Amino acid sequence: MLEIKNLHARIAEDETEILRGVNLTVKAGEVHAIMGPNGSGKSTLSYVLAGKDDYEVTEGEVLFDGQNMLDMSPDERAAAGMFLAFQYPIEIPGVATMEFLKTAMNAQRKARGEAQLSIPDFMKRVKEAAGHLNVSMDMLKRPLNVGFSGGEKKRAEILQMSLLEPKLCVLDETDSGLDIDALRIVSDGVNKLRGPDRAMVVITHYQRLLDHIVPDVVHVLSKGRIVKTGDKDLALELEKNGYADYVDAAA
């Protein structure tokens, strides 16, 4: 589903290279975890996948269902099934959450040539998804993410993901800021979306998320490269020993 080949990317503004040859293949139905020290380029990788133009790809390619994803605009990628749950979801004052959800869902449907959702159908979907994720209707009445606590923002991201039903889910530190109960609720929400036609890339620092969302493959990203790949036991080992062994290898 996702093939990243020798991806090099730099910050457009000052040309600092952040990704230095990332190779990663994620097949439909798989869950991959990416771990790695602060500043190693995990969020940058997720932004490059989503199409943020602060970053410039200088080499390599990204194929999404065989299509060259780097040629697509962020909204085209989303309509094609790419979803990024942001590490730091942004507050957008003045944009009502419900209005935003409806606009986003219908925009994607339109891009895919599907019919617009009726209001009752839309409401039903939102209520159902919000119920599962313990997101109150009161939160949904507020402007998008405005005044949401850190954990509420993360839950709102997963709510959006559930409603948009993407093929490829990239979760950037969705666990940070969540309390123990919320972590379980959010993980359950994510696990519900697991399926043979969907792939996930889960960026995290902590093994505890991977207890809930058990990955098929674990990668270590260091200094803009994947320096180690293993199964779920790699996460346990990292938890115990830290990154020292791998970080040096990347230098």
Partner 1 sequence: MNASVPIKHTQAESDLIGRFEAAKGVLTGSVAVTALREAAVSQIRDKGLPHRRVEEYKYTDLRAFMKSAAPLAAAADESAVKAILGGQDAFGGLERYRIVVANGAFLPGLSDVEALASEGVSVTSLTGELAGEHGAQLLASPKSAANDGVLALNTAFVQGGVVVKVKEGAEVSRPVELVHVAASAGAQVSRNKIYVAKGAKLRLLETFAGETGAGELNIVFDYDVADTASLVATRLIVGQSDTARLITSIATIGAQTEFKSLGFIAGPRFIRNQQFINFAGENSNAGIYGVTMARDEDLADQTLIVDHAVPHCNSREFFKTVLDGRAKGVYQGRINVAPHAQKTDGEMMTQALLLSEDAEMANKPELEIFADDVICAHGATSGQIDEDLLFYLRARGIPEDEARTLLVLAFLAEAIEEYGEDDVTEGLEARVRDWLAGH
Instruction: Choose among Mg ion, partner 1, ligand ATP, none what residue 39 binds, the Cβ cut-off being 5 to 8 Å by kind.
Output: ligand ATP
Rounded Cα distance, 169 and 193, in Å: 9
Does 118 interact with ligand ATP (rule: CB under 6 A)? Answer: no
Does the footprint of partner 1 cover residue 193 (CB under 8 A)? no
Interface stretch with partner 1, choices 3-11, 50-58, 191-199, 231-239 (CB under 8 A): 50-58
Q: Which two tokens stand for residue 233?
A: 């036991």
Q: Which single residue brings its beta carbon nearest to Mg ion? A: 43
Instruction: Give dist(CA 194, CA 31) in Å, integer.
Output: 8
Stretch of 11-19, 31-39, 100-108, 131-139 lying at the interface with partner 1 (CB under 8 A) = 100-108
| 97 interacts with partner 1 by CB under 8 A | no
What does DSSP assign to residue 15? -
Residue type, 165: E
Q: Which does 73 bind (CB under 5 to 8 A by kind): partner 1, Mg ion, ligand ATP, none?
A: partner 1
Beta pairing, strands 217-222 & 225-230: antiparallel
- Identify which of 168, 218, 210, 172 has the alpha carbon closest to the alpha carbon of residue 43: 172
Note whether 167 binds partner 1 by CB under 8 A.
Answer: no
Q: Is 74 in the site for partner 1 (CB under 8 A)?
A: yes
Q: According to the binding rule CB under 6 A, does residue 41 interact with ligand ATP?
A: yes
Distance CA 195, CA 69 (A): 22
Candidates 39, 58, 71, 75; binder of partner 1 (CB under 8 A) is: 75
| Residue 18 interaction partner, one of partner 1, ligand ATP, Mg ion, none, beta carbon < 5-8 Å per kind | ligand ATP
**Which C-beta is closer to Mg ion: that of 42 or that of 198?**
42
Q: What is the size of the binding site for Mg ion (CB under 5 A)?
A: 3
- List the Cα angle 216/218/223 in 5-degree steps: 155
CA dist 157 and 96 (Å) reads: 15
CA 27 to chain centre: 16
Residue 98 touches partner 1, criterion: CB under 8 A: no
